[in-house]
Amino acid sequence: MQRNALPRLMHAASTRPLSLAQHEEVFATTQRPASLIDELDASGLTGRGGAGFPTAIKARLIREQRGHKFVVVNAMEGEPASHKDQTMLSTHPQLVLDGAEYLASIIGAKDVAVCVARDNPTIVNHMERAIHERSRRSLRGPKLELHTPPWRYVAGEESALVHWLDDNESLPQFRVSRPHVLRIGHAPVLVDNAETCANVGLIGRFGAEWYRGLGTSKSPGSALVSVTGAVRHPIVLEVSLGTPLREILASAEADTNPQAVLLGGYGGSWLAGEHLDLGYCNEELGLHGVVTGAGVIVVLPRNACGVVETWRVVRWMANESARQCGPCAFGLPALGEDLKHLSTASRDPLGAFKRLEERLGEIDGRGACRHPDGVVRFVRSALSVFEHDFNNHAHAHACAASRATTHYASVPHLEREEELVWE
């Protein structure tokens, strides 16, 4: 494997997942690092699931705990616009498992739980086969087990996932303070995203020095991005962190002169189209209050209405609330209602606009998980990026685009509350 070249995570990727033998051949190496945790520290890897927390710090926190421990590989991929985890698992399942085993040896865990949403049977199959291959090869190493929780937006949130493994309910848990050690029974749990695990797999084989060959000094390595919206085909790309957004859009064959792009995911932020020269990494995007998050880019062309797109996403996110906390269960649908009146510019849109701004301040930071905070951030970014449109809509001048029937931020079918599955 070359140090300065892509692809890494998608190296030798084909339409079929690599078998264990093929995997060992493709990622063959002679120099294995001596101390995994030090390499992980030096690599500067940050989590790819959304929060972007340094993986080594998280691993050290669990490593200090005593007793029986778990590593949980989170491939739930709750973001509707994200396809990177399923791409990872359907090309290099063994690399992800490599990473999970390295993490298990770092923290001293005897069990690895791989979590894939049961709604995606192909990926479940790939994973079953990959785990079976490993267990046939040797009896050493941690015990690998596949788990298939239901697919919900918040089911991939780490406390909800651990809750499911512990007690069969995909509901987020309340944490008194952070960082907080999640537990299955009494056993501490390290939860890492599937792409993070794949990166750990690479670091464990080639070392931190090699890993830093791509990316910036603060955001080293490469990342997978799912580009959807105004693109020829929805696509998952591997990019070196720090690559200008314009270049990413060009190689995805997307609209390179868009009105705005949505970054991070549906709990992420809109970024106006004139900032496409920014590099795709947190230190540059952070200047505009945007993060790379779960690696989602939704491209919104100039002929679309940002108000309507925002409303559709918020309506779906409100429906995906676990309805445990009042501010989320009542607040998010209320935001959705306000945005609906604004989108259609009917029934006192100006009143709705003012109410919306007040409610945003009320909801922020008041749930057990970050689901409501994500929606608030998303709406706030929409208010600043589409300021002009929101003002027009508020004064009952709905734009022509708001009546269009094509939408760019795709949302799944809205289920009725009683149809939602949590166990």
Smallest distance from other proteins to CB 159, Å:
11
Least Å distance, CB 360 to other proteins, is: 12
Which residue, 218 or 370, is less far from other proteins as judged by CB?
370
Calpha distance 196→54 (Å, rounded): 10
Of 129 and 366, nearer to other proteins (C-beta) is 366
Kind of pairing between the strands at 260-263 and 269-272: antiparallel
The CA angle 133-137-141, to the nearest 5 degrees, is: 100
Shortest approach of other proteins to residue 49 CB, angstroms? Answer: 22
Evaluated on CA atoms 343, 348, 350, 351, the torsion sign reads negative
Q: 303-332: which residues touch other proteins (CB under 8 A)?
A: 324-328, 330-331
179 binds other proteins (CB under 8 A): no
Pick from 21, 57, 174, 396 the residue near other proteins by CB under 8 A. Answer: 174
211 and 43 in contact (C-beta within 8 Å)?
A: yes
Angle at 372 between CA 184 and CA 336, to 5 degrees: 140
DSSP code per residue over 101-142: HHHHHHHT-SEEEEEE-TT-HHHHHHHHHHHHHHHHH-S-SP
| Minimal distance, residue 172 CB to other proteins, in Å | 8
CA–CA distance, 211 with 47 (Å, rounded to integer): 15
The count of C-alpha atoms lying within 13 angstroms of the C-alpha of 270, restricted to the half-sphere facing its C-beta, is 28
Q: Where are the beta strands (DSSP E) in 322-361?
A: none
Binding segment toward other proteins, per CB under 8 A, in 7-15, 69-77, 168-176, 313-321? 168-176
Out of 43, 86, 87, 173, the residue judged to bind other proteins by CB under 8 A: 173
- Cβ(265)–Cβ(79) below 8 Å: yes
Q: Residue 267 CB, nearest distance to other proteins (Å)? A: 17
- In this chain, which of 176, 186, 233, 419 binds other proteins, going by CB under 8 A? 176
Closest approach, Cβ 149 to other proteins, in A, equals 19
Binding mask 333-352 for other proteins (x = CB under 8 A): -x------------------
Taking the least distance from each CB to other proteins, the nearer of 172 and 258 is 172
70 closest CA partner among 31, 27, 109, 108: 109
CA distances from 78 to 46, 313, 320, 406 (A): 19, 14, 10, 23
> 188 with 182: CB under 8 angstroms?
yes
Q: Which of residues 227 and 332 has its CB atom nearest to other proteins in the complex?
A: 332
**Tokens for 321?**
């609330």
Q: What is the nearest approach in angstroms of other proteins to the Cβ of residue 376? A: 13
Site for other proteins in 350-409 (CB under 8 A): 359, 362, 366-368
Q: Taking the complex as a whole, how short is the minimal distance between the CB of residue 322 and other proteins, in angstroms?
A: 9
Rounded CA separation 35/229 (Å)? 43
Our measurement of the distance from residue 327's CA atom to the centroid of its chain's CA atoms, rounded to an integer in Å, reads: 23
Q: Minimum CB separation from other proteins for residue 336, in Å? A: 14
Q: Which is nearer to other proteins, 21 or 330 (CB)?
A: 330
Q: What is the DSSP letter of 97?
A: H
Cβ nearer to other proteins, comparing 162 with 325:
325
Q: Which is nearer to other proteins, 19 or 324 (CB)?
A: 324
Chain residues in the site for other proteins (CB under 8 A): 172-174, 176, 324-328, 330-331, 334, 359, 362, 366-368
